[in-house]
């Protein structure tokens, strides 16, 4: 899983690297445009274009029927039934391209969250470091220590939440350097990236997870923890980022879907794709 995440991550990084110094909207527009082109291509290659065209024509025809015969209840009901059936047919034609696209889209979204999901921090601000342990671990008996990279201070003693199997620290940013935190548990050492970029758009990995496949899919930023580790998850809680649209704060996912749809519909004529 880690190799796949790395490969997708590398592709996304190559595409977004030119935009790191610009407003995040630039990178978002570019990646949405790219996605729209890619999806149109996949859609065209994997879908039954003639079937979709036919289903859409039928939908239009039945809608006209409903409108024309709205005073004849029998015909009206029959038209509704046929419209419903044509819609199902249309959806069925979309199922195959959807199934093909869902995997790359999911991998892409997980990577995009690393770039657009977290706010860039400033010196003087604080972050929460959360370390979650396996159920069998008694956290109050652990000999824990956190080593921070230059530019980051461990700003509080640990808060051990016994029944939650969690230990938290407060980190203070002194300089925007970033690096790796090292969590020492007895003789074991586990590293966690801490990303403190100076650029407006940067890749920030918030969570390092264990070997659970689903968790790895959702959090592709770092190599998973070793299988034998007592630690389940290490998280640096960065504040969520929002894209600013004339004062309106928009979640990146909303912006991405809206832009992708706009680009998709805008470009479908060029690519001669029937959607």
Partner 1 sequence: MTKEKEDSSLSRRRFLELILSTSAGLAFFPKTGFLTTKGRRQTARKVLVLGFDGLDPILTAELMKDNRLPNFKKLAASGSFLPLGSSIPPQSPVAWANFITGTDPGGHAIFDFVHRDPGNYMPIFSASESLPGKHEIKLGDLILPLSGGKINNLRRGRAFWQILEDYDIPATVFKIPSNYPPVESKQKTFSGMGTPDIKGYYGLFNFYTNEYKTITEEYGGGGRVHDVFVIGNRVESRIPGPNNPFKKGNPETFVDFKVFIDPVHPVAKIAYQNQEFILKEKEWSGWKKIKFDFIPGQGVSGICLFYLKEVRPKFKLYVSPINIDPADPALPLSTPDSYSKELARKFGPFFTKGLPADTAALENEVLDENEFLTQDELVYQESVAILEDELKTFRSGLLFYYFSNTDQRQHMFYRFLDKDHPAYDEKMAAEFAPVIPRTYEEMDKVLQMCLEKIDSQTAVMVMSDHGFNPYRWGFNLNTWLLQTGYHYLLPGSRPEEVTLFQQTDWSRTKAYGVGLNALYLNLKGRESQGIVSTAEREALTRHLANQLEQLVDPRTGEKVILKAYISREVYHGPYVDLAPDIILGFNRNYRISWNSPLGNFPRELIEDNRQKWSGDHMSSPAVIPGSLISSLPVKLSDPALQDVTAGLLSLFGIKIPPEVTGRSIF
Give me the residues that bind partner 1 (CB under 8 A), please.
126, 128, 130, 140, 156-164, 168-170, 237, 247
Q: What is the CA radius of gyration of the chain?
A: 25
**Residue 248, CA distances (Å) to 27, 28, 242, 272 in order:** 18, 16, 9, 35
Question: Distance between CA 64 and CA 43 in Å, rounded?
Answer: 28
For strand 179-185 and strand 188-194, is the pairing parallel, antiparallel, or unpaired? antiparallel
Toward partner 1, which CB reaches closer, 129 or 255? Answer: 129
When the beta carbons of 170 and 268 are compared against partner 1, the nearer one is 170
Q: Tell me the closest approach of the beta carbon of residue 128 to partner 1, in angstroms.
A: 6
Residue 124 or 187: the one with the smaller Cβ distance to partner 1 is 124
In the complex, what is the shortest distance from the CB of residue 135 to partner 1, in angstroms, rounded to a whole number? 17
User: Shortest gap between Cβ of 168 and partner 1 (angstroms)?
Assistant: 5
We find the least distance from the C-beta atom of residue 160 to partner 1, in angstroms, to be 5
Nearer to partner 1, 101 or 250 (CB): 250
- Do 173 and 126 contact (CB within 8 A), yes or no? yes
In this complex, which beta carbon is closest to partner 1, that of residue 88 or of residue 253? 253
CB 78, min distance to partner 1, A:
38
Nearer Cβ to partner 1 (37/237): 237
What whole-number distance in Å separates Cα of residue 30 and Cα of residue 36? 10
Under 8 Å between Cβ of 8 and 111: yes
To the nearest whole angstrom, how small is the minimum distance from the Cβ of residue 167 to partner 1?
A: 9
- In terms of DSSP bridges, do strands 126-133 and 231-237 run parallel, antiparallel, or are they unpaired? antiparallel
């Amino acid at each position: 899983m880690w190799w796949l995440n790395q490969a997708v991550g590398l592709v996304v990084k190559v595409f977004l690297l030119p935009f790191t110094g610009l407003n995040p909207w630039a990178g978002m527009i570019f990646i949405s445009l790219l996605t729209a082109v890619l999806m149109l291509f996949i859609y065209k290659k994997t879908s039954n274009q003639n079937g979709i065209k036919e289903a859409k024509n039928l939908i239009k025809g039945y809608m006209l029927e409903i409108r024309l015969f709205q005073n004849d209840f029998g015909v009206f009901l029959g038209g509704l039934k046929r419209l419903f059936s044509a819609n199902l047919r249309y959806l069925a034609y979309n199922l195959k391209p959807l199934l093909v696209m869902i995997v790359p889209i999911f991998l892409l979204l997980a990577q995009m969250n690393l770039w657009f999901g977290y706010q860039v921090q400033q010196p003087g601000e604080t972050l929460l470091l959360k370390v979650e342990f396996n159920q069998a671990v008694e956290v109050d008996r652990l000999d824990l220590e956190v080593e921070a990279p230059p530019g980051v201070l461990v700003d509080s003693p640990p808060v051990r939440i016994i029944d939650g199997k969690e230990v938290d620290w407060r980190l203070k940013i002194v300089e925007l350097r970033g690096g790796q935190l090292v969590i020492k548990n007895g003789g074991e050492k586990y590293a966690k990236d801490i990303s403190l970029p100076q650029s407006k758009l940067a890749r920030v990995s918030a969570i390092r997870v264990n070997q659970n496949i689903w968790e790895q899919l959702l959090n592709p930023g770092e190599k998973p923890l070793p299988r034998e580790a007592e630690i389940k998850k290490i998280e640096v809680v960065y504040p969520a980022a929002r894209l600013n649209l004339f004062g309106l704060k928009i979640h990146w996912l909303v912006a991405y879907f809206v832009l992708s749809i706009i680009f998709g519909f805008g470009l479908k004529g060029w690519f001669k794709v029937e959607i």
